[in-house]
Amino acid sequence: MIGRTDLKPLIEALDRRAEIGDPLQLWLRDDDAVEPSGSLDRLLELTQRHQVPLVLAVIPAFTGLALQERLASADTVEVVVHGWSHRNYAGVGEKSQELGQHRPTGAVLDELARGHALLAGLYDTRFVPMLVPPWNRIDPQVVANLPGLGFESLSVFGPEKPAPLTMLNTHVDIIDWRGTRGGRSVDAVVADLVSSSRTHRGPLGLLTHHLVHDAAAWDLMELILEATARHAGCEWRSVRDLMAQSAVN
């Protein structure tokens, strides 16, 4: 079980931000939502209890009214497009990718347009025109066409790069994809958060995947949200507010 003392470096970093009046801006993105589940219920309960805005990246091809109905009362949730079907078109030995050059660009764009229309219709004002590429990978030619489909923002993982629309990336992942495929160690995640808070300009994105969370991942999320949600050195932001802020700047 993770203890509060494990978060000491993060708390100290936030204390310093509070002292200088420069709170760290954080936002939370969770990927691969399709339908209601016990794991989704746990994520919603956790974020709502701490009043932390949640960006839920939904896979359009496999979702529908069941998820819409489950999210109807979740007032801290915003819905964004997570590719179309999360299908890997890359060849053997290549990194997984849905939105690459493995198919005609027109076919990729047609699917993204369908995904945008479907989720916008299901979620109305809760929908945000952001694309989250499966596996955080997307071909530059596809990126160039996103504004024409109605997308206003793109979110992958890692440092932001120039693009024809607003980039709001995630920077710290709580899952150990190359090892246990469960929660990473608290020391590693806290170190990433502290390091990124010192070097990264702009909002810092935390990435989660509720469907694969083990006990360590849930414990880590609980303590991070508890430690940061009401700390003067931190502000959890909605993606809509961050997009508006980016447009002004």
pLDDT tens by residue, 92-123: 999 999 999 999 999 999 999 999 999 999 99
Q: Indicate whether 168 pLDDT > 80.
A: yes
Q: Indicate whether 177 pLDDT > 70.
A: yes
CATH number of the domain within which 126 lies:
3.20.20.370
Q: What is the pTM of this model?
A: 0.95
How confident is the model at residue 6, as a pLDDT? Answer: 82
3-state SS, the chain, equals CCCHHHHHHHHHHHHHHHHCCCCEEEEEEEEEECCCCHHHHHHHHHHHHCCCCEEEEECHHHCCHHHHHHHCCCCCEEEEECCCCCCCCCCCCCCCCCECCCCCHHHHHHHHHHHHHHHHHHHHHHEEEEECCHHHCECHHHHHHCHHHCCCEECCECCCCCCCCEECCECEECECCCCCCCECCHHHHHHHHHHHHHHCCCCEEEEECHHHCCHHHHHHHHHHHHHHCCCCCEEECCHHHHHHHHHHC
Q: Hey, what are 34's tokens?
A: 């399709």
Question: Is 101:139 a contact under the CB 8 Å cutoff?
Answer: yes
Side chain identity, residue 46: L
Mean pLDDT, residues 65-86: 96
CB atoms within 10 A of CB 69: 11
More confident residue, 6 or 44: 44
**Backbone torsions φ then ψ of 84, nearest 5 degrees:** -120, -60
What CA–CA distance (Å, rounded) separates 232 from 131? Answer: 31
Mean pLDDT, residues 30-40: 98
How confident is the model at residue 33, as a pLDDT? Answer: 98
Domain of 116 in residue numbering reads as 4-248
Alpha-carbon 227 to chain mean position: 20
Q: Indicate whether 28 pLDDT > 50.
A: yes
Please tell me the least confidently modeled range out of 3-12, 15-24, 175-184: 3-12
What CA–CA distance (Å, rounded) separates 127 from 240? Answer: 9
The number of folded domains in the chain is 1
Measured CA to CA in angstroms, residue 161 lies from 130, 158, 186 at distances of 16, 9, 28
What CA–CA distance (Å, rounded) separates 44 from 64? Answer: 18
pLDDT, the chain, mean: 94
How confident is the model at residue 22, as a pLDDT? Answer: 94
Residue indicated by tokens 């509720």: 210
